[in-house]
Amino acid sequence: MNDISWQDIRKVILDFLQKRLANNSNYKTETSKLEKAKELGDQVAVNEVQQKLDELAKRFEFETWMEDAATRRIFWISLCHFTSKEVHSSSSGDNINYSTQTKPINKHYVSSATPLTLSLNCSGNAAALDVFSLLNQSIKDDITFLQLIIDGHPGVLPALSDDQQKASLYLANFKKAIFNDFDKPKASELNKQLYWPNDEEPYLSKQDNNYRLLIPLHPSSLCNYLYEKVQTRFSEENKYARELRKKKDVEHQPYFSFHDLAVVKLGGSNPQGVSQLTSNQGGRYFLLPSIPPKFKNSPFPMVGKQQETIFNHSLQGFCRFGFKLLFDMVESPKNIVEERDDRKDALAVILSLLLKFARYIQTTQPAGWSRDYSLNFNEKLWLDPQRAQLENEEEFKKLYEQGDWQQSLEKRFATWIQNALKEKFKNFKQQFADPEFSEWRREFNAAVKASQRKREGIF
């Protein structure tokens, strides 16, 4: 920005005025008449048309145009990020320019402070929109004239006029419009108004008028930012990526889409009467869905941070079908062959659900999640295997690779099964002793080996 001179700024202004003159509809019409008059050799008509062209050109001379723009028409428009007319198109309340204010440090919510840059909006008389266009002209490297004024660039003042006194007046007027220097800030009866308490218990306070009056304005620049983001779904890159998804044997690219959008239209048939950005959008504003989220309960039990083991009543409830088979087997009349088969079926169901739960935890939780949990360390080694790949986890990796934790899991599984049986059948819990405990361990060990052979990645 330091390499921008006042001559650079002046040149951009002059080029802007030349383009405005060339694109002026009256100038185009008179130029066309001039060409025809010259073709016909009608010198009287040539002189008349040329006089009109000269008069039009004078309106776009630098000093003439700048004086009119900076002393009169600049006050016909309001430069802003928050507009009053988008709350109600007939509102005559003041608008606010947010970029000139200090942005809050707290970023826990989305607001107009979230984007790094926001397009400036303009509301007011359409006859002064060319002044707004000038302020948005890029001087160098996407640095606009407006930004130079906001930043107090030293080249702005001499670029505005060769007369220093006029230049100072022009700059003061531009700043007044940009920085919302309201002599008498005003709202409109068509604006919404909220009385916000100054403390938690204003009704108990003995102070009078212990409220702050808030007048919410429409965040037009933030809404335009969203609008532009949504519109990029129609970009060539996004359309190309979408088409690739339909083809086989090609490298697919990510693309994005927006679902459940609503559209509100402001300004009716004349959106420019509301603001410039509203006009650019054809009066359309997108509304993102703001409905309560639909939570889906996971079929798997949760693991709490204070939980010391996964082998608890929650996991038993998850494996309830297997436990029902096991309990039915214990209650049924004794038959050695059938009893053995029923027991194996019950344990197979329990172990199948247990391994599904373990795989769910291993694949859905981030590496290292177990650091902040109170689980038994051997269970952490089982359920958080990716933690071994993290920095400063050499000891965890060493213990994981040794594999001794699998034997500990056998014992914990067998204890879990045994305790469930003793709690269910308190009258003959002495029957669930060491032989049964060893059987539960063997079943778990067999499931581990079967999973390893299948390379399921659970162990």
- 34-57 confidence digits (pLDDT tens): 888 888 888 888 888 888 888 888
Cα distance between residue 6 and residue 149, in whole Å: 12
DSSP category for residue 390: S
Report, as an integer, the average pLDDT of 155-169: 94
Closest CA relative to residue 78, chosen from 180, 5, 187: 180
Q: Is the pLDDT of residue 340 over 70?
A: no
Closest CA relative to residue 84, chosen from 122, 136, 132, 120: 122
- Decide: helix, strand or coil at residue 121: strand
Confidence of residue 334 (pLDDT cuts 50, 70, 90): low
Closest CA relative to residue 74, chosen from 120, 130, 119: 130
Cα distance between residue 240 and residue 365, in whole Å: 34
Report, as an integer, the average pLDDT of 353-363: 90
| Long-range contacts from 380-386, C-beta under 8 angstroms, 24+ separation | 381/405, 382/358, 382/406, 382/409, 382/459, 383/303, 383/310, 383/358, 386/362
Q: What is the pLDDT of residues 235-292, one digit of tens each?
A: 888 999 888 888 888 888 888 888 888 999 998 888 888 899 999 999 999 988 888 8
Output the pLDDT for position 114. 80
Cα distance between residue 111 and residue 118, in whole Å: 11
- How many other CB atoms are found less than 10 A from the CB of residue 100? 13
Tokens found for residue 265? 């239209």
Whether the full predicted model's pTM is greater than 0.75, yes or no, is no
Output the pLDDT for position 58. 92
Closest CA relative to residue 124, chosen from 270, 13, 273, 234: 273
Cα distance between residue 67 and residue 23, in whole Å: 21
> If you average pLDDT over every residue of the chain, what do you get?
85
Spatial neighbors of 348 by CB under 8 A, at least 6 apart, are 322
Report, as an integer, the average pLDDT of 355-360: 90
Cα distance between residue 131 and residue 335, in whole Å: 97
Cα distance between residue 153 and residue 147, in whole Å: 9
Q: What is the pLDDT of residues 296-307, one digit of tens each?
A: 777 888 888 889
Output the pLDDT for position 348. 87
Radius of gyration of the chain (CA): 38
Determine contact, residues 372/305, Cβ cutoff 8 Å: yes
Cα distance between residue 451 and residue 459, in whole Å: 7
Determine contact, residues 117/249, Cβ cutoff 8 Å: no
